[in-house]
Each structure stands twice: as C-alpha cells, then as structure tokens.
Amino acid sequence: MRYWLMKSEPDDVSFEDVLASPDQTTSWYGVRNYQARNFMRDAMQPGDGVLFYHSSCAVPGIAGIAEVASGPYPDATQFDSRNKYFDPKATQEQPRWISIDVRATKEIGFIPLTELRTMPELEGMELLRKGSRLSISPVTAGEWKAILKRAKAAS
C-alpha cells in the first residue's frame, strides 16, 4: 500500500463535496502535469491512502482522508472543447491525460499548512519543500502515520 497527497481547489471539488456525493467518490480530473499523471497511471492502486488537500484557497491544508477507488482511465475533460482542461492534442485513440476515482474514508479536523510546517516528522515531506507545486505527491509511511496521529489527537 502506498500513500499520496492530492490537491484539490475547494471551489472546484472539496472534501465536503465528496462526502456529500451518493457513494462518497469523485473522479480526479484536470491533472495536466506529466509527473502527477504518471503517478496516477503507473503507481497508484485501489486502496492506496490519500491525504485530501485543499489548495489555492485562503487557508490551505489537509481536509480529510480518502483512498484510491479505481484504476486509471482517460480523463474525459481532455476531449471537451468547452472545458478548461481541453487538450486539442488528445484523441480518443491516444488520450494524454488520466483520471482515477477517489473515495472519502474519514473526516478529520482540518490541518492547515501552517501547522504541517511545525511538525518535525514532516520535515522532508514533498508538500513542504520550497518550490514544490505538484498536485499529487507521494507520502511516506512515517508522514502518513504522523498526520493520522495528529488527526486522532485533535478529535
């Protein structure tokens, strides 16, 4: 089992939106970075743990715990010319971009980025590296455990 941090803008899809959906699952679409795409396509497996992170908002941070709920499949937004994620180079025969499904599994108290930066156990976390902008990044087992411990302590 692997662990991941996946960023979503809460104005687009928030953790609360996923919790409110009938099966508490959402398609993770719109990823347009090759490294993040490759993580979804080549490394993520159903059952992997996900830190659902709210980004590009007033207070960024971890909003909940989720899991990878499907294998990779073509991101439909790449084919829709009216969608902001449209890619004119993508074809049905040769899609360029991937989606996976993510299922919310646990509500936790929101953990803001400012607090994550104070946790010594997260010193090497990709999210906290200067200049890191990946929308999907691996999380070590130690980082995962530290965040779950912090979430449990706060509840």
Domains and CATH numbers, the chain: 3-147 (3.10.590.10)
Tens of pLDDT, residue by residue over 33-81, are 999 999 999 999 999 999 999 999 999 999 999 999 999 999 999 999 9
- Regarding predicted confidence, which is higher, 68 or 152? 68
Predicted local distance difference test score (pLDDT) of residue 132: 87
Contact 25, 72 (CB under 8 A): no
Tens of pLDDT, residue by residue over 133-142, are 899 999 999 9
To the nearest whole percent, how much of the chain has pLDDT over 70? 98
Backbone angles phi, psi at 36, to 5 degrees: -65, -40
Q: Is a pLDDT exceeding 70 seen at residue 155?
A: no
Predicted local distance difference test score (pLDDT) of residue 154: 63
CA angle 14, 15, 16 (to 5 degrees): 85
Question: For all residues of the chain together, what is the average pLDDT?
Answer: 96
